[in-house]
Amino acid sequence: MNLSVVVVDDEPLIRSGLRAIINAEPDLTVVGEAGDGAEVLPVVRRTGPDVVLMDVRMPALDGIQATRLLLDNLDPPPRVLVVTTFENDDYVYDALRAGASGFLLKRTPPDDIIAAIRTVAGSESLLFPEAIRALALAHAGAQPSRPTGLDEYQLTEREQEVLRLMARGLSNAEIAAELILGLQTVKTHVANVLAKLNARDRTQAVIRAYESGFVPLH
Amino acid sequence: MANGLVRGSARGASPLVHALTCLGRASTYLRWVYLLLGAALVLAFILVQSALGSVVQDLDLPKVAAGILYAVLIAGPPIALGVLPAVREVEGIAVESLLGVRFDERPLGPARTWPQRRRTAVWFCLHLIAGGVVGSLSTVVFGVGAIWLAVPFRSPGTRDIVPGVSYEISGGWSDLWMPAAAVGGVVGLFLLSAAVGALLAHLAPRVLGPTAAERIELLERRTATLAERNRLARELHDSVGHALSLVTIQAAAARRVLATDPEFAETALAAMEASARAALADLDHVLGLLRDDRRTGSQTTPQATLGELDRLVDATRAGGITVDVQRHGELDQLPAAVSREAYRIIQEGLTNAIRHAGRRAGELTVDLSIRLDTSGLRLELTNPVSGTSDHSGGGRGLAGIRERVAVLQGTVVAGLETGADGTLWRLAVTLPVAVTTKG
């Protein structure tokens, strides 16, 4: 499967580096670049990529706002993979809450950058489940949300089990093995969970699960 | 103590039993040690005073004059010692470790102001008085107690039980009240010592600790340190973090395409070299700020003001950049705070200009205009930029400048301007100033 990527960063040398790394893969292609969040929407409209690599801090429009813009204006929107210099960047979690599917450190080795793009595009499993849990934990104090649970969404017992395993980072195939179910059945359950939670993808669903206290952070 | 009694009866226990539980606490004995320290000091003062007292006696002064002289002899030395700055530090350590008091200011520093020295002297005298009372009682209770405790073991007859007081020891049960009284005396001593210690522990933060105003000052100093640290963290994040991620990605990319696209690999190497060099320069700058902080932290060197602008400009010129300075208005009449901020804004503006000029620093001319009039202080930094120059980072130090100016309720305008001479980078800052003539 060929995947197309758009690279967004205000630093041209970061863009050219990422482009070279991605284009070196036979099945990945960089189809467009943008130097600021404000330029992202037209570029994505024109090129229709599967994945957008989005820098967080940019001068005019930052990565969080640009992510929102993409999700609000495109159907279906591309997967957004946030790229950041530092792990403890407050913006990263905001970007994930805004709808980004995962995040990537700029110091990530190239093989892992490629793997992350594939993971996010395939949406079969959660990217860096441990890091997402850590981020949710770090931000739990800021939002004094009582553990309300997810009762209002009326997930079936099976769907709840599937969501817990999604949070642990298991892929559909791994969930199928764990619960001794068919892969197709798991896919249906995952789709139902996402639909009931009104979540764009696994990342959103898992963040919801953490923030509601449905999956304990500790 | 009163508090303890009320709590005791509320719980239904006998107040006496409750009071006695303090005999089982280590803090009671630590506080007693603190009081004994005071007693030891009193003893030292008494030795000095008795020597001087005999001199006064020999002078054969009228009664009133002699009385005044005695009073000065008694109160003078402790007060004179109490106002020494270091006493606050020493008492602070003793009070924290022996009385178990936690001050807001930790550790308690030496007295810096006269009110602080006065309050320390008051505390020192309190320590001496309380220590003197409890210390002398301790001597009596233990000294006499030891004799009384031994009474049942002595043969009957008339003995001195207190120096100068004789008692008829009968040798029977009727003498047992004496050892009982000795034990009672010790219990009473420690109850009193616990009460006095609790009273001192209650007073210590008020008398020895920082006042509300001093607490606010401490807090402000701590906040300023924190803000400064955050600023440095941001500087490192922005400059060095940025450069290192760039180098990482370019290196990774170059390695991937080395065989297939050697031209890209060469460009990548050049970019890595340039960013690493810029990162080193930034690191130098931030470390310079850290060294500055240590200097200003000691509070012996005040922060630079516009008065030191020439030195800053000279230093910048030494770095190869030409700075053309124009001054208007009586800048030496600026309030010190505004002058300091203006200096730092110019410093950051010049640093930015150097940073963005990069390799072309040798050809760069920065125009700096400082104008003070009734509308306020206006700082303007302009320098030409080439078309390829990258200001997209939003100016790394610009965030710092904006924060500073916001505090002083001024305005910042920064950006590229296209004029007759090509593209210019302009930073304009206006600070409101109420100009007062120096009195």
pLDDT in tens, A84-120: 887 766 778 888 888 888 888 888 889 999 999 998 8
What amino acid is encoded at B15 in this protein? P
Q: Exposure string (b/e) for B121-148, b if CB count within 10 Å is 16 or more?
A: bebbbbbbebbbbbbebbeebeebbebb
Closest residue of chain A to B262, computed from CA coordinates: A20
Q: Name the residue range of residue B64's domain.
A: 2-210
| CA separation for the pair A114, A45 (Å, rounded) | 23
| CA separation for the pair B439, B252 (Å, rounded) | 65
Instruction: Provide, as residue numbers in chain A, all residues whose Cβ is less than 8 Å from the Cβ of B393.
Output: 10, 59
* Domain tally, chain B: 3
Task: Give kind and range of the element (H or E) at residue B412.
Answer: strand B411-419
Closest residue of chain B to A14, computed from CA coordinates: B246
Task: Let me know how long chain A is.
Answer: 218
Interface touch B249/A36, C-beta < 8 Å: no
ipTM higher than threshold 0.90: no
| CA separation for the pair A171, A165 (Å, rounded) | 9
Helix (H, G, I), strand (E, B) or coil at B150: coil
| CA separation for the pair B292, B235 (Å, rounded) | 15
Q: For residue B299, is it left (φ>0), alpha (ψ between -120 and 50) or beta?
A: left
What amino acid is encoded at B323 in this protein? V
pLDDT of residue B392: 44
Task: Give kind and range of the element (H or E) at residue B143.
Answer: helix B114-149
Q: What is the percent of chain A where pLDDT is above 70?
A: 95
Residue B267 phi/psi, 5° resolution? -60, -40
| CA separation for the pair B410, B433 (Å, rounded) | 9
Interface touch A11/B246, C-beta < 8 Å: yes
Q: What is the CATH number of the domain that holds B425?
A: 3.30.565.10
Q: Are B344 and B276 within one domain?
A: no
Q: Are B26 and B151 within one domain?
A: yes
Interface touch A14/B245, C-beta < 8 Å: yes
Q: Exposure string (b/e) for B240-258, b if CB count within 10 Å is 16 or more?
A: bbbbbbbbbbbbbbbebbe
Residue B384 phi/psi, 5° resolution? -70, 145
Q: Are B204 and B216 within one domain?
A: no
| CA separation for the pair B172, B122 (Å, rounded) | 52
Q: In order along chain B (439 residues), what is the average pLDDT of each group of 10 residues?
A: 43 69 84 91 88 82 84 86 88 88 78 85 91 91 84 74 72 76 88 89 85 72 74 75 87 91 90 83 73 48 72 73 86 77 82 65 80 88 68 57 75 82 84 58
pLDDT of residue B355: 67
Q: Which of B326, B437, B432 is nearest to B375 (CA)?
A: B432
Q: Are B163 and B224 within one domain?
A: no
Q: Tokens 């994945």 sit at which residue? A: A51
Give the domain-ending residue among B163, B178, B210.
B210
CB B99 within 8 A of CB B34: yes
Å between A32 CA and nearest CA of chain B: 17
Instruction: Provide, as residue numbers in chain A, all residues whose Cβ is less than 8 Å from the Cβ of B275.
Output: 13
Is the model more confident about A19 or about B21?
Answer: A19
Q: Are B128 and B252 within one domain?
A: no
| Domains of chain A, each with CATH number or no CATH | 3-122 (3.40.50.2300), 147-211 (1.10.10.10)
Q: Which of B197, B212, B210 is nearest to B94 (CA)?
A: B197
pLDDT of residue A9: 93
pLDDT of residue B4: 41
Instruction: Provide, as residue numbers in chain B, all residues whose Cβ is less than 8 Å from the Cβ of A10.
Output: 392-393
Q: Are B228 and B113 within one domain?
A: no
Q: Are B128 and B20 within one domain?
A: yes
pLDDT of residue B291: 66
Q: Tokens 């923030």 sit at which residue? A: A211
Q: Are B284 and B156 within one domain?
A: no
Q: Which of B330, B385, B307 is nearest to B352 (CA)?
A: B385
| CA separation for the pair A51, A25 (Å, rounded) | 15
- How many alpha carbons lie under 13 Å from residue B187 in its C-beta half-sphere? 12
Q: Tokens 């230093």 sit at which residue? A: B315
Interface touch A86/B237, C-beta < 8 Å: yes
- The 10s digit of each residue's pLDDT in A116-171 is 999 888 877 777 787 888 888 877 765 545 666 787 888 899 999 999 999 988 99
| CA separation for the pair A70, A68 (Å, rounded) | 5
Q: Are B289 and B329 within one domain?
A: no
- How many alpha carbons lie under 13 Å from residue B398 in its C-beta half-sphere? 20
Interface touch A106/B248, C-beta < 8 Å: yes
Instruction: Provide, as residue numbers in chain B, all residues whose Cβ is less than 8 Å from the Cβ of A116.
Output: none
Residue A55 phi/psi, 5° resolution? -65, 150
What amino acid is encoded at A140 in this protein? A
Is the model more confident about A12 or about B154?
Answer: A12
Which site among A11, A28, A103, A113 would you substitute to test the B interface, given the most B Cβ atoms closer than 10 Å to its Cβ? A11
**Cβ-nearest to A21 among B252, B260, B271:** B252
Instruction: Provide, as residue numbers in chain A, all residues whose Cβ is less than 8 Å from the Cβ of B260.
Output: 24
Q: Are B373 and B248 within one domain?
A: no
What amino acid is encoded at B75 in this protein? A
**Token pair for residue B232?**
């440095």
pLDDT of residue B52: 83
pLDDT at A29 over 70: yes
Which site among A8, A9, A11, A13 would you substitute to test the B interface, given the most B Cβ atoms closer than 10 Å to its Cβ? A13
Q: Are B195 and B149 within one domain?
A: yes
| CA separation for the pair A171, A124 (Å, rounded) | 6
CB B117 within 8 A of CB B89: no
| CA separation for the pair A63, A106 (Å, rounded) | 15
Give the domain-ending residue among B192, B210, B228.
B210
Q: Which of A69, A26, A71, A74 is nearest to A48 (CA)?
A: A74
Q: Are B427 and B284 within one domain?
A: no
| CA separation for the pair B240, A47 (Å, rounded) | 34
Give the domain-ending residue among B168, B185, B210.
B210
Task: Give kind and range of the element (H or E) at residue B422.
Answer: strand B422-431
**Token pair for residue A19?**
């482009």
| CA separation for the pair A23, A17 (Å, rounded) | 10
pLDDT of residue A124: 76
